Amino acid sequence: MYVDKITLAHGAGGYETSLLIHELFVKVFKLKNIGDGIGLNELDDSATIPIGNGKSLAITVDSYTVKPVFFPGGDIGKLAASGTINDLAVIGAEPIAFMDSIVVEEGFPLKDLKKIINSYKSILDEYHIALLGGDFKVMPKDSLDQVIFTSIGIGLVDGRPLVDSNVEPGDVIVVTGPIGSHGAAILASQLGLEDVEVRSDCRPILPAIRIAKKLNAIKAAKDPTRGGIAMALNEFAQKSHVDIIVYEEKIPVKEEVKALAEMTGVDVYALASEGQALIVTSSDRANELVEALRRNGFREAEIIGEARRPIGHKPRVYLKTLIGGTRVLEVPRGELVPRIC
Amino acid sequence: MYVDKITLAHGAGGYETSLLIHELFVKVFKLKNIGDGIGLNELDDSATIPIGNGKSLAITVDSYTVKPVFFPGGDIGKLAASGTINDLAVIGAEPIAFMDSIVVEEGFPLKDLKKIINSYKSILDEYHIALLGGDFKVMPKDSLDQVIFTSIGIGLVDGRPLVDSNVEPGDVIVVTGPIGSHGAAILASQLGLEDVEVRSDCRPILPAIRIAKKLNAIKAAKDPTRGGIAMALNEFAQKSHVDIIVYEEKIPVKEEVKALAEMTGVDVYALASEGQALIVTSSDRANELVEALRRNGFREAEIIGEARRPIGHKPRVYLKTLIGGTRVLEVPRGELVPRIC
C-alpha cells in the first residue's frame, strides 16, 4: 500500500503506526541508544540511560491530544500524568521527575487550563514527583483544537529494566483489572452517547507494579493503551518470539464497555485502557501475584493466558473464545478511535 | 489586568508568558527539583539531575509550532534539533540523546514529514546524538494547522551548570553574531513579504560554547529566542540582580533585518535568534574569547555590553543608543510574532 499523505490510521497506535515509525525513524536514525540502554530499536515504553552501579534513568515522552479534554473519569492533565507514570512503571522504573510542554489554542479558558494543570499536579504530588520545568506555547484561534499536553517522565531503574522481550514460553499473563474502559469512555463522548455510563479508568498503575516487584513476580509489563490488549500482547509476542494464548472467559471487561463495543462494532480488545497493566510472570508465581493484587485494591486481577513456543513461522496471539473457538488476535489496523490519548 | 482566556501574548515568551508560568506552575507545584539540581524555580534553559561524581544530566523540552513549517534558512525539524542543542549548550551540557514527539494533521504530505525528520536527523548525526524514541500522533483534518514538533534533549554536565544567575557586576556580555534573523525570516514569511531577503540563522550554537568553555571564558550563556536579546538580557539581570548596559553601535544586526524591523514596527531587540548565543564572561577574558570566536567562524562576534551593580531598586537593562541617549530595554510585552518557534 503506497500512501502519500498522513492518515488517522498512522496515529492510531496499531499496524500502520508501527510501519510508519519504522520507516520514518527506526530505519533512518543511526545512533539509537546510549551504551546498553533501551533505545529506538527496542521501541519499549521508556528509553533508558545507564548511569553506573547497575542503575539507569528511564525517560519517556507522550503528547496527549485527547478529545474531549474533560471526559468521564478524568481530563487531559490526569491522563498525561497517569500515562507518563505508567510508561515508566512498566519498564520497572520509579518516577522521580517530570517536565511538561503545553500548546494551547488562543481563547482557551484560563480556568480550564488551571483545572487541567491541577489534575496533573495532584498526581505528581501523590507520587512525590518533581516538576522540573517545561515549555508553553499558544497557537492562534482555529489553528489547534484546544490543547496538546506533552508530558516527559524521568524515572530511576535499579537493576535490569523490564523489557517487552523478556517473555518466555510457559510464562503467564496477568491483567490488573477490566480492560478497554478509557477507550470506551472517549468513544462514547465523541459519539455524543451521553446516556452510556462508562468512565475512563485513567490512573497510575504503579501500585500494581510495585506489588509485583516486591514479590519478585514480574518479568515484563505493558499498559495496554492505543490498540488495547490486542496491540500490547502482539508486542510481547513479536519482541519475545513467543505465541500468546488468552482466554476470553478470563479477560475482565465491564458490561457497559462490552455493550458499547458491540453497539459500535469496535473490537473491545483494541480499546485503550489507561489504568490497567498486563504483567508477565513465571507460572509458579502467578497465583501468588493475582492474590496479592486482589488483596490490595486490584480486585478483578486475573490470569488471562500464557506464552508458548511459537507453532508457526511468525509469533501470534490466539484468543480462545467463549464458544470454544480460536481466533488470531491481530495487530489492530485502521483508524480505531481518533484522539483517544 | 484580569484575563479569563489564553491570549497570543501568553505564548510570546515575554512579560505575559512569565506571569502565566509563575501563576500556573511555579506557585502551584510543590516539588520543583531533584537534589541541588536546576528545576522549576530557576526556569533556566535546561533542568538538571545530579548523578554523582560532580556530574549531572541536563534535560530540556520545547514544542515547536513554527509557521511556515519550511522557511528561508531551515524547517521545523532543523529548528527543533538546533533549539534543543542550544538549550543544553547554554547550561554547559554536551548533548547525548534526544527524544521527539510529533503531532501531525491528517492529510499532511508524507514527503514533507520525511524532509522535516531528515533535517532533524542530519543535525543529530553531526553532533553524534542518539535518538532514543518518542511519540507520534495524528489529529483529524482542521484540528491542527500542520505539525507540532516536540523535542527533548538530554545532555551531560561535567561540573557546575552555567546558570543565568551567575552574572556578576563587571562581567562582559559577548554575542556570537548578528541577532534577530530567525524572527525576521518568520515575520517576513508570515506577512507574505517574499521579496525581503532574510534567512533564519537557525543552527546549533554548541561550537561557540565549546570555544568559550575551552578557554575557561564563560560564566553564563543564553540563546536569545522568543523575546530576543531584550528578554534574554532581562533574565540575566533579574536572576543575577545586576544592571546590564548594552551599546547599540556594538550589537550586530543584518541590514535586511534592521530594514524589516523598521518597516513593521517590531523592536529588533525583541526578534528571536535561533543560531546566536549571548555569552557572559569576566572582563579579563572577553577579548580573548571574541578573538577565538572570530577565528573559528563566528566572524561577527562582539562585546556588546557589561553588567553593573544595580543603580535602582529593580535590576534593569539599559541600551545606549546610537544618538547618545539611554533607554531602558524592557521585557517585551504583547503578541510579538506568533508561532516563531
Residue A226 sits in the same domain as residue A292:
yes
pLDDT-based confidence at A1, cuts 50/70/90? low
Q: What is the pLDDT of residues A276-310, one digit of tens each?
A: 999 999 999 999 999 999 999 999 999 999 999 99
Same domain as A209, residue A112: no
Q: How confident is the model at residue A2 (pLDDT cuts 50, 70, 90)?
A: low
Closest-CA distance, A208 to chain B, in angstroms, reads 24
A68: cis peptide before it, omega within 30°? yes
Other CB atoms within 10 A of residue A121 CB: 21
Q: Output the nine-digit C-alpha cell for B323.
A: 544618538
User: Is residue A336's pLDDT more than 80?
Assistant: no
List all residues 6 or more positions away from B18 whose beta carbon is below 8 Å from its beta carbon: B331
Higher pLDDT, A196 or B167: B167
Do A266 and A207 have their domain in common?
Answer: yes
Distance CA(B52)–CA(A94), nearest Å, equals: 18
Shared domain for A183 and A305, answered yes or no, is: yes
In tens digits, chain B (341 residues) has pLDDT values of 568 999 999 999 999 999 999 999 999 999 999 999 999 999 999 999 999 999 999 999 999 999 999 999 999 999 999 999 999 999 999 999 999 999 999 999 999 999 999 999 999 999 999 999 999 999 999 999 999 999 999 999 999 999 999 999 999 999 999 999 999 999 999 999 978 889 999 999 999 999 999 999 999 999 999 999 999 999 999 999 999 999 999 999 999 999 999 999 999 999 999 999 999 999 999 999 999 999 999 999 999 999 999 998 999 999 999 999 999 999 999 887 889 99
Question: What's the rounded mean pLDDT across residues A58-82?
Answer: 98
The whole domain housing A61 covers: 31-158
pLDDT of residue B2: 62
Distance from CA of A305 to the nearest CA of B (A): 29
- This model of the complex carries an ipTM of 0.97
Task: Indicate whether A184 and A305 sit together in one domain.
Answer: yes
Residue A241 φ/ψ, nearest 5 degrees: 55, 55
**CB contacts, 8 Å: B61 with chain A:** 61, 99-101, 133-135, 150, 152
Instruction: Give the per-residue pLDDT at A210.
Output: 98
- The CATH number of whichever domain residue B198 belongs to comes to 3.90.650.10
CATH, residue B40? 3.30.1330.10
In a domain, B77, yes or no: yes
Using the beta-carbon criterion (under 8 Å), do A110 and B17 form an inter-chain contact? no
Identify whether A13 is part of a domain: no
Specify whether B116 is located in the same domain as B255: no
φ/ψ (deg, to 5) at A38: -85, 135
Question: Is residue B1 packed enough to be buried (19+ CB in 10 Å), middle (13-18) or exposed (0-12)?
Answer: exposed
CB spacing of A52 vs B52 below 8 angstroms: yes
Average confidence (pLDDT) over A22-37: 98
pTM over the 0.90 mark: yes
B207 and B301: one domain?
A: yes
Rounded CA-CA distance A47/A119 in Å is 26
Helix (H/G/I), strand (E/B), else coil: A269: helix
Is residue B243 in a domain? yes
- Cell numbers found for residue B20: 502565566
- Collect all residues of chain A within an 8 Å Cβ-Cβ radius of residue B108: 5-6
Answer yes or no: is B338 within a domain.
no
Inspect the interface and report whether the beta carbons of B118 and A144 lie closer than 8 Å. no
Q: Does residue A181 surpass a pLDDT of 60? A: yes
Q: Provide mean pLDDT across the span A201-229.
A: 98
Let me know if residue B46 belongs to a domain: yes
**Number of domains comprising chain A:** 2
Which residues of chain A are within 8 Å of residue B80 when distances are taken between CB atoms? none
Quick one: pLDDT at residue B77? 98
The answer to the question of residue A265 being in a domain is yes
Say whether both A144 and A171 belong to one domain.
no
Do A235 and A255 share a domain, yes or no?
A: yes
The residue out of A137, A158, A179 marking a domain boundary is: A158
Lowest mean pLDDT among A51-55, A101-105, A176-180: A51-55
User: Which of residues A132, A158, A184 is at a domain's end?
Assistant: A158
Query: Cα–Cα distance between B90 and B164 in angstroms, integer?
Result: 9
| Neighbouring residues of B27: CB distance < 8 A, sequence distance ≥ 6 | none
Instruction: Name the amino acid, one letter, at A150.
Output: T
Q: In whole numbers, what is the pLDDT of chain A averaged over residues?
A: 97
Q: Would you call B138 and A103 a contact, using CB atoms and an 8 Å cutoff?
A: no
Q: How many CB atoms lie within 10 A of CB B335?
A: 17
* Residue from A41, A61, A91, A100 to probe the interface with B (highest B Cβ count within 10 Å): A61
SS (H, E, C) B171-237: CEEEECCCCCHHHHHHHHHHCCCCCCCCCCCCCCCHHHHHHHHHCCCCCEEECCCCCHHHHHHHHHH
Q: How far is B326 from chain A (nearest CA, A)?
A: 33
Q: Do B139 and A339 touch (CB under 8 A)?
A: yes
Kindly state whether residue B24 falls inside one of the protein's structural domains. Answer: no
pLDDT(A319) > 70: yes
Please check whether residues A211 and A270 belong to one and the same domain. Answer: yes
Same domain, A128 and A171: no
| Set of cell numbers at residue A143 | 489553528
**Nearest-Cα residue of chain A relative to residue B136:** A11
Chain B residue at shortest CA distance from A55: B51
- Written as nine digits, the cell of A190 is 465523541
How does residue A165 score in pLDDT terms, banded at 50, 70 and 90? Answer: very high
The predicted model gives A247-258 an average pLDDT of: 98
Per-residue confidence at A194, pLDDT binned at 50, 70, 90? confident
Paired sense of beta strands B74-75 and B70-71, if any: antiparallel
**B36 inside domain:** yes
Of A142, A158, A174, which residue is a domain's last? A158
Where on the phi/psi map is residue B313: left (φ > 0), alpha (ψ -120 to 50), or beta? Answer: alpha
B107 and B196 fall within a common domain: no
The contacts of residue B68 (CB under 8 Å, 6+ apart) are B186, B189, B190
Helix locations, chain A, DSSP H: 15-21, 76-89, 110-126, 181-190, 206-214, 228-240, 255-264, 286-295
